Structure 1
Amino acid sequence: MSDIDFVEMGRTCFGHAARRTANLLTRHYNRHLSSLGLELTQAQLLAVIADGSASSASDIARYLGIERSTLARNLKPLEASGLIARQQKGNRKGLPVLTSDGQEKVIEIHRAWQRAQEELGSVLGAEEAAAVRAHMSALRKAVHILEDRKTSVGPVPPQKRF
């Protein structure tokens, strides 16, 4: 183990950097959403439901980047608090929809999100904010490429560039 540079590993790891950044960003948005009794994950889920373009729970989970089981766990408290409803479809619950309370809540979510977004944007500036979004998008695309290759052909050989 003495030949492994764990400090370098932590300093250069994309996953570590993304997780640290995600944790900080989540805390920032959660501070703005706390007065609504919500956290960012719940607010994002309500916003996706409000959008109405998802045709299945799988679409919602895929958009949020979570597993279907995680989605089901996150829907339960929103349903229990009366913010969403789901109709039965045979043996399964259908696509979630906002209740009237949920519709009011997403308007409040949007206002809180705008404040959080504007704060970050004012510190970053428009050009840097666009660059951050582009870099995050590139990182997601790279991981999707690797995941697609792994599921279609087995282990992925090292790549020189993306």
Structure 2
Amino acid sequence: MNNTAQFPGLLNECLVTQSRNAARRLTRLYNRQLTSVDLKSQQVSLLYFLYQRPLSSTADLTDCLAIERSAVARNLAVLETRELIQSDKKGRGLLRRYQLSPGGEVLLTSLSGAWHDAQRDVRDQVGEEGWVTIHKAFKLLSTLNI
């Protein structure tokens, strides 16, 4: 049975489907640039955030980066095991605070080229006008009331 008549344009017009597809593609592109350091783009995002806001809590990271708490916890564990971040060890759960370790700062500096290469790759593929449009759309979507 073909259900497309009941939901015409569902896959092509659904913003959730389209945004998840785009997010997967962007994630793969960025992850490809990061293979040399064996990190994923979400882990690098956490490192950049902790560089800008040292001693952030798990709750801060979850809220500001819009990443599920379980994903934040998993990625923080990887970064802590690799000694790229340090935690205060006093707080528990969402209240535990993190900062970059000296090794994390060195790694983050070395990642700048790979991150910019990924940005440039996307920009080249979508063009300058597309790049600006995407940023405007993301900013607009981030204002939705939830």
* TM-score, normalised relative to structure 2: 0.86
Aligned match of 2:122 in 120, 123, 129?
A: 120
Larger radius of gyration: 1
Corresponding residue for residue 160 of structure 1: none
Q: Secondary structure at the match of 1:88?
A: coil
Unaligned runs of 5+ in 1: 148-162
Give the partner amino acid of 1:118.
Answer: R
Corresponding residue for residue 36 of structure 1: 37
Question: Would you say the 8 A contact 1:84–1:99 is kept in 2?
Answer: yes
- Change beyond 3 A, Cα 1:102–1:69: same
The correspondence of residues 11-160 of structure 1 with structure 2, limited to 5 A, is 11-52=12-53, 55-89=56-90, 94-142=96-144, 145=145, 147=146
Deviations 1:62-95 (A, max 9, x none): 1110233332222111101111111222656731
* Larger relative contact order, structure 1 or 2 (CA cutoff 8 Å, min sep 6): 2
Question: Would you say the 8 A contact 1:61–1:71 is kept in 2?
Answer: yes
Q: Secondary structure at the match of 1:89?
A: coil
CA distance in structure 2 between the partners assigned to 1:85 and 1:53 by the alignment: 10
Deviations 1:95-131 (A, max 9, x none): 1111111111111222211011112212333332111
RMSD, matched Cα: 2.1
CA deviation after TM superposition for structure 1 residue 53, in Å: 5.7
Moved more, 73-82 or 116-125: 116-125
CA deviation after TM superposition for structure 1 residue 61, in Å: 1.1
Give the partner amino acid of 2:125.
Answer: V
Unaligned runs of 5+ in 2: none
- Change beyond 3 A, Cα 1:66–1:18: same
CA deviation after TM superposition for structure 1 residue 14, in Å: 0.3
- Change beyond 3 A, Cα 1:90–1:101: closer
CA distance in structure 1 between the partners assigned to 2:92 and 2:24 by the alignment: 37
Question: Would you say the 8 A contact 1:54–1:60 is kept in 2?
Answer: no
CA distance in structure 2 between the partners assigned to 1:47 and 1:25 by the alignment: 17
Give the partner amino acid of 1:120.
Answer: V
